[in-house]
Amino acid sequence: MNFQNPGALLLLIPLVGTIILLYLLKMKRRDLRVPATFLWPKKTEEIRANSLFQKLKFSWLMVLQILALTLVIFALARPQTVQRGLAGRVTVLVIDASASMGATDVKPSRFDEAKSLAASAVSSAQTGDRIAIVEAGPVPRVLCALSNDADRLRRAVNDLQQYDSETDVGGAMRLAASLVGTENSARIVLLSDGVFDPIANFAPGKASVVYQTIGKADRNLAVDALGTTDTPNGRQLFCGVKNFATVAMKGTISVYSDGKLIDSDELTVDPHGHWGKTIAAPADAKVFEAKVNSPDDLLPADNQAVALTSPGASLHVLLVTHGDLFLERALALDPRVTLDRTDTPPADGAPTYDLVVFDGIDETPVKSRGVLTFGAAGSSSPVTDQGTGNGPSFKSQEKNPLLTGVDFTSVYVGKSQQVKAKSTADVLAENSNGPMIVESKGDQRQVYVSFEPMQSDFPLQVGFPIFIANALDFLGGEGDSSRLAVHPGSPFSVASGQSGTLTGPDNSSTKIQSTGASLIVRQVRRVGDYKLNVNGQDRAVYATMRSDVESDIVPKATLALGTVAVKATQSPARFADFWRPAILLALLVLVGEWWLFAKRS
């Protein structure tokens, strides 16, 4: 127990001394002649001589008065009791839902332990406590705002979901700070193993931060590399396994080609070491899978990887733009795309991309499989610049796979380039300023659009995401569209005007409604093989995780939150005020003192 106002205890000595002094003082009486004394009972106090002080004698009235005064002074000192538990008067519980929380060193998993701790905090909350529940997933979610409704909080805890991916813990913490940052004595409690990048730009405001660490071991083998290359000796498949533990680990690696086992090895990987092997692979195979199995492995999410061999199965895309969220989102939602963004054209010697997109920035020669340009033709474009025109009107468009499902008839364009197509290019659509959509199938595939998306209402049309998907198909090279490789927790889109059905590894099915132009799939949370049925056709969806951050599952003892380092705790403490019971007890003592005084009178 401690005191918020310990100085108040100093009042106890003079005030208690005053009460005792009053009992030492004798009563001063005036003389009064009476005809007889037998009418009054003999009392010792009535025959005392008048003087200033008397000998102190025991009195229950004095004891009760001193006790009442002591309790009042005790209450003014604001006593507090230390209690163990996550919840305080105002608390936000932030639950880490990342892949590393699926580790099984805490049974059944770290994430389940976090849910159990959150449920216990809700159950042990005191009357008047307010709690909020925040899920730190790929996109942070407030499952329950500040509330003292226990049933609502329990439902929120049950709705928590884990993802086999990296998550935005920093965003979840900033969201929690926005909920309670202005509250006095509030606390933000993070239930996590600390396996995430340092959080920048975080300030808790008036709230305190508590980090409840979960987990205790680091044993984990992960498939961290799987890919193919064509050599003069045929197709070669490389598979790599990394040990993230501080001890050597043994296991078995199995490699499959279109579901058939083509190689299996026993392996021993040194602490923080790497194992790799190159395998001759069938030239006609479409899907390669690698699976590692170890009895000591604690994290199943990174034990398998998938590599697709179709030309456009994986696209590393660079977007050169001054800022266009519509275009950036349309590219990022394609499951094949890994997107980088810049506002400067790549220089010579820059990393090679599968596809470079120029949005309103003059196209420059680049080393890539394909180029998509919006309204900024350059020397390497399939067109030559003839100037700029305002308010062009649509004229015509050709039947072409690039424009399948896209109708420019109702698209408004405020400004576009006037261009002339080169002899090696095909004009697919025209407006009153000339060619509007142009494609070229040379050594480097190119698509030119005469206007920037932000200079039109095209991004608001249902055909915009379809056009982007068609362009990626064309520029990336025609591949097998019946198979997709995705990252768990990341939404992706599939062009379709009809609803679809997603079947998970556990055979559970989810209906996915179309936006009118595409299906946006957000339900792939865990690693595994899924099936997406769209327009009566099945697509195999392979969800795999490759993240050194999440695979390094050793729990962190200290977190970097903004400019502050927060140490882990196993049992957070809270302080509960104890002055109310002291005041109530003082009132009861005063009632007893009054009753005793009245009885004696």
Q: Nearest CA to 209 among 122, 128, 93? A: 93
pLDDT at residue number 466: 87
Residues 6+ apart with CB under 8 A from 231: none
Query: Which uninterrupted H or E stretch holds 548?
Result: helix 548-551
For residue 28, what pLDDT band results from cuts at 50, 70 and 90?
Answer: low
For residue 309, what pLDDT band results from cuts at 50, 70 and 90?
Answer: confident
CB distance 195 to 98 below 8 Å: yes
Query: Which uninterrupted H or E stretch holds 462?
Result: none
Asked if 260 and 172 sit in the same domain, the reply is no
Average pLDDT, the chain: 86
Span 109-131, average pLDDT: 90
Span 248-257, average pLDDT: 95
Q: What angle do CA 523, 505, 538 make, to 5 degrees?
A: 75
**583 within domain boundaries:** yes
CA–CA separation, 402 vs 474, rounded Å? 7
CA–CA separation, 423 vs 484, rounded Å? 36
For residue 44, what pLDDT band results from cuts at 50, 70 and 90?
Answer: very low
**532 within domain boundaries:** no
* DSSP at 541: E
Of 271 and 34, which is predicted with more confidence?
271
pLDDT at 54 over 70: no
pLDDT at 581 over 80: no
Of 339 and 84, which is predicted with more confidence?
339
Asked if 212 and 225 sit in the same domain, the reply is no
pTM over 0.85: no
Type of residue numbered 81: T
Span 25-42, average pLDDT: 64
Bridge partner residues of 340 (DSSP) = 318
- Is the alpha carbon torsion for 352, 357, 363, 368 positive or negative? positive
pLDDT at residue number 43: 52
Give the CATH number, domain containing residue 125. Answer: 3.40.50.410
Span 270-294, average pLDDT: 93
pLDDT at residue number 369: 86
Percentage of residues in the chain with pLDDT exceeding 90?
Answer: 48
CA–CA separation, 294 vs 103, rounded Å? 14
Span 419-425, average pLDDT: 90
**508 within domain boundaries:** no
> Which of 424, 458, 476 lies at the terminal end of a domain, its last residue?
476
What DSSP line would sit under 359-393, residue for residue? ESS------EEEEEEES---TTSSEEEEEEEES--
Q: Each residue of 135-152: pLDDT tens digit?
A: 999 999 999 999 999 999
Span 339-360, average pLDDT: 84
Asked if 212 and 288 sit in the same domain, the reply is no
pLDDT at residue number 27: 59
**126 within domain boundaries:** yes
How many residues can be counted in the chain?
601
* DSSP at 86: S
CA distance from start to end of the chain: 41
Bridge partner residues of 528 (DSSP) = 543
pLDDT at residue number 496: 78
- HEC secondary structure over 128-172: CCEEEEEEECCCCEEEEEEECCHHHHHHHHHCCCCCCCCCCHHHH
> Which of 252, 272, 305 lies at the terminal end of a domain, its last residue?
305
Q: What is the span of the domain harbouring residue 152?
A: 86-216+555-571
Give the CATH number, domain containing residue 432. Answer: 3.40.50.880
CA–CA separation, 572 vs 423, rounded Å? 73
Q: Each residue of 433-447: pLDDT tens digit?
A: 899 999 998 888 999
**50 within domain boundaries:** yes
pLDDT at 42 over 60: no
**40 within domain boundaries:** yes
Q: Nearest CA to 302 among 553, 554, 551? A: 551
Residues 6+ apart with CB under 8 A from 314: 308, 336, 338, 354, 485
The label of the residue with tokens 């405020």 reads: 414
pLDDT at 462 over 90: no
Q: Each residue of 85-98: pLDDT tens digit?
A: 566 789 999 999 99
pLDDT at 39 over 90: no
Chain centroid to CA 495: how far?
Answer: 28
Span 158-168, average pLDDT: 95
Span 528-535, average pLDDT: 91
pLDDT at residue number 563: 80
For residue 481, what pLDDT band results from cuts at 50, 70 and 90?
Answer: low
CB distance 371 to 448 below 8 Å: no
pLDDT at 50 over 60: no
Highest mean pLDDT among 8-17, 240-249, 399-408, 580-589: 240-249
What DSSP line would sit under 528-539, residue for residue? EEEEEEETTEEE
* DSSP at 434: E
Asked if 458 and 322 sit in the same domain, the reply is yes
Which of 39-43, 64-68, 310-314, 517-521 has the weakest average pLDDT?
39-43
Span 395-402, average pLDDT: 90
Instruction: Count the domains in the chain.
Output: 4
CB distance 98 to 527 below 8 Å: no
CA–CA separation, 100 vs 299, rounded Å? 7
Which of 111-115, 285-289, 346-350 has the weakest average pLDDT?
346-350
Which of 15-19, 120-124, 215-219 has the weakest average pLDDT?
15-19
338-358 burial: b if 16+ Cβ within 10 Å, else e: ebebeeebbeeeeeebbbbbb
**544 within domain boundaries:** no
CB distance 513 to 522 below 8 Å: no
